[in-house]
Amino acid sequence: MDLSQRPDVRQKTTLSPQVYQGLAILAMPVQELQGIVDAELLENPTLEIEEPGEGQEDFEIEDVRSQDEEEERAWDEWLDQYEDLEGGERIVPRDPDADTGGSEEFVGGVHTFGDYLLEQLAALDIEPQVLRAARTIIGSLDDDGLLAIDLTEVAELAGVTEADARLALDAVQQLDPAGVGGCDTREALRIQAQRLGVDSPLLLSLIESRLEDVATRRYHRIAVAEGVSEALVREAVEDLRLLNPRPAGAFSSGRAPDYVTPDVTLRRFGDEWVVVSNTESVPVLRISPRYRSMLRSSSGVDKETRRYLKDKVRSAEAFMHNIDRRRDTVSRIAEIILETQSEFFEDGASDLRPMRLEDVAVELGVHLSTVSRGVTGKYMATPYGLFELKHFFSGGYRTSSGLDVAATSVRQHMKKLLDVEDPDKPLSDQGLADELAQQGVPVARRTVAKYREEMGIEPSWARKRR
């Protein structure tokens, strides 16, 4: 066995820390990027937030030259460029969203369920002891908005009589959302029915003792037991569907939720759509003028300090460049989505066109992984709602008329067919495939089954009315 050492020359491609940082920043959602920016501001003293009206710096640092004198001259020239730019008048492009508000309208504010109820409670004219008991009740609601303890415990905790605790519960049950403060699901549903004015005897009977039959669509059994027609039962069930068994379902009683922040916003001006990058969530950064002045050869700062500041400035420039590159990449992807899915954006209801990550990568001249990072966790605010950029990407099918339709649109067609199917004769997977084919969208039965399962819809035998 030969154990001798031999030199082996190989080529190996490695990524610099700046490139790794750029890839990581591109993949981050806005909320995570905000944390990275805050951490970089704390770590790098030469980096700071550019306040409105201040100069904007976009020049990059020149490479350090081998000779000390050339290096000092290069830094001084670079600093002169910054000062010339700051001294000039800043040209600010017109913001098309200046009069229409920012992105907050799409992402909502941080508000807990308890805060929401306490604000409403403060507007009620009730006695102090009743108010104290009402606050105790609000603090005792579970995640669904239902009262988790009985009124005796409420009275003991608040130090009031049970009569005051009952008055407090009545006050809480007047608050929005309707049904909050119910002692159980049935009471919450009864409160909502009364609030909406649909509390017919039949509906109240369904709530009280027929919920299991409603869940399994045993409408005929309900009709016989209640002595009414099946048509009336179906009408009552439609009213029941207006009610929410979890009144606090839209809120969180725990930690405030992480709201989605759009990376881009789609606006329409006349006949033209415009993609506007969200510059509010991530601040504009710059190199601190104070530290730039310390880098000058005439500043009198010792070499060690200047060497430290140069490293920090280089790091800051690389970080700013990666932030700008992320913003540019996401905006360019959004513009291609706008161009490809133009019919959808006209009314928000048209079918999506097939769109692949590979096609966008070719269009932008970047690697497929770059586009994948650029769409994952990135959102677009549109007049029709908030969409993740990945929503607009999927394979597709060619209709009988020659039009390409995205798989997302095929699922929407399936959902419409299932919503209007006969409960006595629900559509099988093959039946769905036949119906889609009649609409000009040929899809295989196994593909229909796959989409149905992904949509969480039961097979036909389980959907059949019992």
| Whether residues 82 and 135 fall in one domain | no
Q: Is residue 105 part of a domain?
A: no
Number of structural domains (the chain) is 3
The pLDDT score that the predictor gives to residue 400 is 46
> Does 186 lie in the same domain as 139?
yes
User: Is there a domain that residue 220 lies in?
Assistant: yes
Position 72 scores a pLDDT of 57
Both 267 and 372 in one domain: the answer is yes
Same domain, 209 and 318: no
Which value, in Å, is the radius of gyration of the alpha carbons in the chain? 31
Residue 296 falls inside a structural domain: yes
DSSP labels, 429-459 = HHHHHHHHHHTT----HHHHHHHHHHTTPPP
Same domain, 175 and 208: yes
pLDDT at 32 (0 to 100): 85
Is residue 245 in some structural domain?
no
- Residue 436: which CATH number? 1.10.10.60
pLDDT digits (tens, 9 = 90+) for 431-451: 888 887 777 667 777 777 777
Q: Are both 204 and 126 inside the same structural domain?
A: yes
Residues 272 and 375 in one domain: yes
410 & 304 share domain: no
Mind listing the pLDDT tens digit for each residue in 57-86? 444 444 433 445 555 555 556 555 555 544
Q: Let me know whether 311 and 266 are in one domain.
A: yes
Q: Is residue 187, in this structure, part of any structural domain at all?
A: yes
Range(s) of the domain holding residue 458? 396-463
The answer to whether position 247 is within a domain reads no
Domain-terminating residue out of 365, 387, 409: 387
What's the DSSP call for residue 269?
E
What confidence score (pLDDT) does residue 330 get?
92
Q: Output the pLDDT for position 27.
A: 86
Q: What is the mean pLDDT of each run of 10 residues along the chain (466 residues)?
A: 61 62 85 86 87 51 45 58 48 39 41 77 84 88 83 87 90 86 87 84 86 81 87 86 78 53 86 83 83 77 85 90 91 90 78 78 85 87 85 60 53 78 81 78 74 76 66
The last residue of a domain, from among 208, 240, 272: 240
Report the greatest alpha carbon distance in the chain: 101
Q: State whether 182 and 125 are in the same domain.
A: yes
Of 178, 181, 149, nearest to 168 by C-alpha is 181
Find tokens 């430290």 and name the residue. 308
* Residue 378 shares a structural domain with residue 404: no
111/253 Cα distance (integer angstroms): 10
Query: Of 210, 240, 270, which residue constitutes the final position of a domain?
Result: 240
Q: Give whole-number Cα distances, 46 to 42, 195, 245, 314, 365, in Å.
A: 10, 60, 55, 10, 34
Residue 365 lies in a domain: yes
How open is the CA angle 276-277-282, to the nearest 5 degrees? Answer: 150
pLDDT for the residue numbered 258: 53
Has residue 38 been placed in a domain? yes
37 and 71 housed in the same domain = yes
